[in-house]
Amino acid sequence: MSIETLQTLAAPIRSQSLAKLAASADNAVYRGGGWTVDVSRQYLTAEIETALLAHANDVNLTGTLDDLFSAAIVNPSENRPALHWALRMPPESELTKSEHETTLRALEKAAELGSSGQYSAIVHIGIGGSDFGPRLYADAFGDRQLDAIELRFCANVDPLDLDLALRGLDPAKTLIIGISKSFGTEETLYNLARARSWLEAALSAEQAARHLLLVTANPDRANAWLDGNQATTLDMPISVGGRYSIWSAASVAVMASFGVETFQQFLTGAAEMDAHVKTTPIDRNLAARMALLDFWNTSFLGFGSRAVLAYSRRLRMLPTYLQQLEMESNGKSVGPTGADAPLSTAPLLWGGEGSVGQHSYHQWLHQGTHIVPAEFILAPGSHSDPEGVEALTAHALAQAEVLANGRSLAEVNAEEPELTEVVARQKVHPGGRPSTFMTAPELTPARLGALIALYEHRTYLAGALWQINPFDQWGVERGKTMATRLKPALRGEAKAEDAATQNLINLLK
């Protein structure tokens, strides 16, 4: 019933002025975990909000959250709970104690690495969820890195990536950290094997193994790979998905090179957001409201993408991180019962760093023919040079205003009467482009933790609204299988089954 109501409400709303909707928006600001979120420039009215909340009630979104936080099986295709939140919250019961302890062990190991003086560099090797999170964290807090340990990353199976990561390093002073939940990912195993050879070219096999630290949920495979040599291993819990694993031992490299205390603040911020999401009724619950907005914009208003515009140098990698989190989680069209998702699901997520993006794709956002809801994230903080902070803030506010309100022909003519009609028309901004504005006073490790936890919960709840399982990823498997099958064709030992692929192989030769 609520779906039909929402469909009826969607049709007329797009012709409304966003400026008017914003002026009449009541209760459009939500708060939690140190973040404030203003959705007044979205295509929402009190009636639509009521219908969305009625739908949340119909599908028992509160129960969906209870399931997550009570460690129920929320990942039915793999028959597992999803326990990423348990890594950052002190355990309330025995149920999640062992998961939490894996993070505590990683923190201990990181403290030991940081103080040992044994290593001057760490090379973090992993891909996807075993890479994006620690890389985002390291990029965000580059100004806080401890001097003692240089941190480098390698993810790509393109051999140049590891060449660059190892360049100029001394094997005797380098620790290679390999992260793979499955310990079966081709890219990571390839890079790890090359890194091990690099160590072994300078050290004995036994010594080389001591320069390896492996983080995995599959210790049997890791031990087989070690082939009898002794290396340190840390556990990744099986019930924590790769893209939800930033809170786990997967982050041991950043824990060591940015300090354990900083990472603990990051965990504490995430736990603050967890507490908000767990206990706040749906109508004031940040994650639920944002998931309902995603549901509304995508499945009823038909917006096929969302732009994350991070007005923060610290968050320039956030869109890349969120692409995996949201699109690998909810880029699906069949639900856990095997039924087709009844409505369109997760939009394309893209974006970048403001104000840099203003000199690139903002032209398209303002005057292109596609309307893309934008998500501004601004956490300006203070700086000894306030001029830049003021400019950053002014740019973010201005972009949101122009996207929503546009610039009419009358305004262009009034402001620039010397223009010809032809030029004036080209300066019109149609407006009507909705946005959300997310702010925090400063992007500290705690606020980053809260922000990521918010996106995780939002993703989970949006998955429930779309009736899909956000915790599996069958869609990435087929390509991996096919790549393996194509290797003989690349070597000329067989022909590719697909003619177009074989033609491409011929071209490559």
Instruction: Please report, as ranges, the residues that interact with ligand F6P according to CB under 6 A.
Output: 127-130, 180-182, 185, 188, 242-243, 328, 473, 476
Question: Nearest distance from residue 174's CB to ligand F6P, in Å?
Answer: 21
- Is 298 in contact with 6 (CB distance < 8 Å)? no
Q: What's at 173, amino acid-wise?
A: K
Question: Nearest distance from residue 451's CB to ligand F6P, in Å?
Answer: 20
Nearer to ligand F6P, 130 or 459 (CB): 130
Nearer to ligand F6P, 417 or 479 (CB): 479
Count, residues in the chain: 509
**Residue 37, SS3?**
strand
What is the distance between the alpha carbons of residues 448 and 162, in angstroms, rounded to a whole number? 28
Nearer to ligand F6P, 129 or 373 (CB): 129
Opening angle at CA 479, ends 127 and 505, nearest 5: 110
3-state secondary structure 163-219: HHHHCCCCHHHEEEEEECCCCCCHHHHHHHHHHHHHHHCCCCHHHHHHCEEEEECCH
Nearer to ligand F6P, 5 or 182 (CB): 182
Question: Nearest distance from residue 91's CB to ligand F6P, in Å?
Answer: 24
- Whether 480 sits among the annotated catalytic residues: the reply is yes
Opening angle at CA 187, ends 182 and 193, nearest 5: 90
What is the distance between the alpha carbons of residues 450 and 30, in angstroms, rounded to a whole number? 14
Question: Nearest distance from residue 183's CB to ligand F6P, in Å?
Answer: 7
- Whether 328 sits among the annotated catalytic residues: the reply is yes
What is the distance between the alpha carbons of residues 392 and 398, in angstroms, rounded to a whole number? 10
Question: Nearest distance from residue 454's CB to ligand F6P, in Å?
Answer: 20
Nearer to ligand F6P, 291 or 325 (CB): 325
Helix-helix angle 260-279:286-295, to 10 degrees: 70
In the 8-state DSSP scheme, what is residue 378? E
Question: Nearest distance from residue 475's CB to ligand F6P, in Å?
Answer: 9
Catalytic residue among 359, 418, 421, 509: 359
Nearer to ligand F6P, 436 or 469 (CB): 469
Separation in Å, CA 440 to CA 41, 382, 396: 18, 12, 14
Nearer to ligand F6P, 53 or 327 (CB): 327
- List of long-range contacts for 278-281, beta carbons under 8 Å, 24+ apart: 278/65, 278/69, 280/32, 281/62
Catalytic residue among 328, 353, 375, 456: 328
Nearer to ligand F6P, 131 or 274 (CB): 131
Catalytic residue among 97, 370, 383, 480: 480
What is the distance between the alpha carbons of residues 192 and 341, in angstroms, rounded to a whole number? 39
- Is 75 in contact with 81 (CB distance < 8 Å)? yes
Question: Nearest distance from residue 238's CB to ligand F6P, in Å?
Answer: 11
What is the distance between the alpha carbons of residues 161 and 153, in angstroms, rounded to a whole number? 8
What is the distance between the alpha carbons of residues 125 and 113, in angstroms, rounded to a whole number? 17
In sequence order, what DSSP letters do the residues of 437-453 get, joined into one string? Answer: EEE-SB--HHHHHHHHH
Question: Nearest distance from residue 110's CB to ligand F6P, in Å?
Answer: 19
Residue 252, token pair as written in the block? 């041991």
- Give the residue numbers marked as catalytic: 328, 359, 480
